[in-house]
Amino acid sequence: MIVLGTQSARYSGEIPVFERRAVRASTDPYRPEALRKREAFLVNGDSVPEGFGWYIFVNRPVTAVNAPTIELPSDFDFLADGDVLRLTPTKNSLRVLFRRNASVNSFLLTERCNNFCLMCSQPPRNVNDGWIVDEILEALPLIDTDVPEIMFSGGEPTLLGSRFLDLVRACKSYLPRTALHILSNGRSFSDPAFAKSLGDIGHHDIMVGIPVYSDLAHVHDYVVQADGAYDETIRGILNLKQTGVPVEIRIVMHKQTVPRLSALAEFLTRNLLFVEHVALMGLEMTGFTKANLGDLWVDPADYAEELKRAVGILDRAKIKTSIYNSQLCLIDRSIWRFARRSISDWKQEYMPECQSCAVMDQCGGFFSSAELKYSSHIQPIPC
């Protein structure tokens, strides 16, 4: 697990007056002069080039430089050229917003949401967090343009309305070769005008990931704890597709959803065959999941056959299908080819039982929160 933030950063020197600021980290001593002033140089040797706006010392003595310095513990020795950081000197805080070498980079757009999902990993809060949009708009121009993909999540990103659309436009402008993956509950797109506004931006590679938890409306509405959500979600998917925006269906597997997993797969093949991708996702043991564990937990070994049936239904219909957040030893070998290493590397771990497994480097592993509860059937796969 990688630590992405601290409130124990030691700032020194003449610190400019600001509340928070996004800066790009650099290890290149030959960066153009004009760029250096907005960047933080990661000191990794005796030679310290002049002209950078900040100098970062990770687990090493601070040397005299003519600019503000930041001391960080060894937890941050992963920092690399191209990372984007949020500096908050008034709170001795530093946060990594973007990691150039990460497998997945996700930006939380807001903590607000109009669903209240039983297993939400980011419990919603009704707060005024509009500053997050400003921060992301500041960070996007600092990201290298060859990054394959970034993700927007929440909360519910579309509750930002026009500001959400501004962020998509900014991605199109600043990152013209980078795919954009948006996680949304889809309800806002039940407004055809809003769905059309997203499609009209013309982003070259966009995907909206939307959860559908059942073929039955009342089951979906119970899982998301919002009456009428199912109808709005389905209408939102239809409106997005009508305006040319690709859609991914995301299904979290737990006690409320797995009994009708194959029925849901049949529903998707009959009614939403045009979606680009279906992701069947293991449960993350954090957020509301901990409070609702009794209503959610089912050992993945107990739904292995149901998962196999659902994947088969989707695959035969030629819908691109993936299994996320799941362990190979709990999945029938016939569907291993659908399993992905999907957990972000900063929160991915393996259990002691995994250490002698012959396929550990191919397995998705566990969320770091899985120590709370995980399958009793985890076992190493022999060579």
- Picking from 76, 98, 120, the residue at the C-terminal end of a domain is 98
Return the pLDDT at 2. Answer: 85
Q: What are phi and psi of 43, to 5 degrees?
A: -75, 120
| 268 is a domain residue | yes
- In this structure, the answer to whether residues 143 and 60 fall within a common structural domain is no
User: Do 76 and 121 sit in the same domain of this protein?
Assistant: no
Tell whether 234 is covered by a domain.
Answer: yes
Same domain, 174 and 94: no
Q: What is the mean pLDDT of residues 56-72?
A: 93
Q: What is the mean pLDDT of residues 45-67?
A: 91
Beta bridge partners of 279: 250, 322
Q: Is 347 helix (H, G, I), strand (E, B) or coil?
A: helix
Claim: this prediction has a pTM higher than 0.85: yes
Domain shared by 65 and 110, yes or no: no
pLDDT tier, 344 (very low <50, low <70, confident <90, very high otherwise):
confident
Asked if residue 59 lies in contact with residue 77, where contact means CB atoms within 8 angstroms, the answer is: yes
DSSP codes, 135-179? HHHHHGGGS-TT--EEEEESS-GGGGTHHHHHHHHHHHHH-TT-E
pLDDT band at 375 (very low <50, low <70, confident <90, very high): very high
Q: Is the peptide bond before 282 cis (omega within 30 degrees of 0)?
A: no
Mean pLDDT to the nearest integer, 242-260: 98
How many whole angstroms separate alpha carbon 112 and alpha carbon 12?
Answer: 35
Instruction: Grade residue 47 by pLDDT with cuts at 50, 70 and 90.
Output: confident
Place of tokens 């153009």: 32
Tell whether 126 and 256 lie within a shared domain. Answer: yes
Together in a domain, 24 and 118: no
CB atoms within 10 A of CB 165: 16
Averaged pLDDT, 311-325: 98
C-alpha–C-alpha distance, residues 365 and 340, integer Å:
10
pLDDT at position 46 over 80: no
pLDDT in tens, 94-108: 999 999 999 889 999
* Whether residues 22 and 141 fall in one domain: no
Contact 39, 159 (CB under 8 A): no
Residues paired with residue 321 on neighbouring β-strands, in sequence order: 278
Q: Is residue 383 part of a domain?
A: no
Among 39, 64, 98, the domain boundary falls at 98
**Rg for the chain, CA atoms, rounded:** 22
Which residue's entry shows tokens 């992701």?
A: 279
Helices (H), 24-67: 33-36
Neighbours of 355 (CB within 10 A): 9
133 in the same domain as 41: no
Instruction: Answer yes or no: is 219 within a domain.
Output: yes
In whole angstroms, give the CA distance from residue 279 to residue 325.
Answer: 10
- Decide: 364 and 345 in contact? Cβ < 8 Å: no
pLDDT at residue 314 greater than cutoff 80: yes
Asked if 84 and 142 sit in the same domain, the reply is: no
Confidence of residue 347 (pLDDT cuts 50, 70, 90): confident
CA atoms within 13 A on the CB side of 346: 19
Does one domain contain both 317 and 242? yes
Integer CA distances (angstroms), 16 to 41, 54, 57, 62, in order: 17, 10, 18, 19
User: Looking at the domain assignment, is residue 379 inside a domain?
Assistant: no
106-130 pLDDT, tens digit each? 999 999 999 999 999 999 999 999 9
Indicate whether 221 belongs to any domain. Answer: yes
Distance between CA atoms of residues 187 and 210, nearest Å:
9
For the cut 90, the answer to whether the pLDDT of residue 271 exceeds it is yes
Which pLDDT score is estimated for 103? 82
The Cβ-side half-sphere exposure at 191, using a 13 Å CA radius, reads: 8
Residue 381 lies in a domain: no
* 197 phi, psi to nearest 5 deg: -60, -40
Q: For residue range 170-211, what is the model confidence (pLDDT) as tens digits?
A: 999 999 999 999 999 999 999 999 999 999 999 999 999 999
pLDDT surpassing 90 at residue 71: yes
| Confidence at 294, pLDDT banded by 50, 70, 90 | very high
Mean pLDDT of 350-367: 94
CA dihedral 161, 23, 124, 256 (to 10 degrees): 100
Task: Count up the domains in the chain and report the number.
Answer: 2
Using an 8 Å Cβ cutoff, are 3 and 34 in contact? no
CATH number at residue 164: 3.20.20.70
* Average pLDDT score, the chain: 96
What single string gives the DSSP state of each residue in 267-320?
A: HHHHH-TT-SEEEEEPPP-STHHHHTHHHH---GGGGHHHHHHHHHHHHHTT--
Q: Reply yes or no on whether the pLDDT at 1 is more than 80.
A: no
Domain shared by 91 and 199, yes or no: no
Q: Are residues 112 and 232 in the same domain?
A: yes
pLDDT tens digits, one per residue of 78-87: 999 999 999 9
How far lies 222's CA from each of 119, 216, 249, 290, in Å? Answer: 11, 10, 18, 17
Residue 378 lies in a domain: no
Structural domain boundaries, residue 192: 106-372
Work out the average pLDDT over 214-222.
Answer: 98
- Residue that is last in its domain, among 78, 98, 118: 98
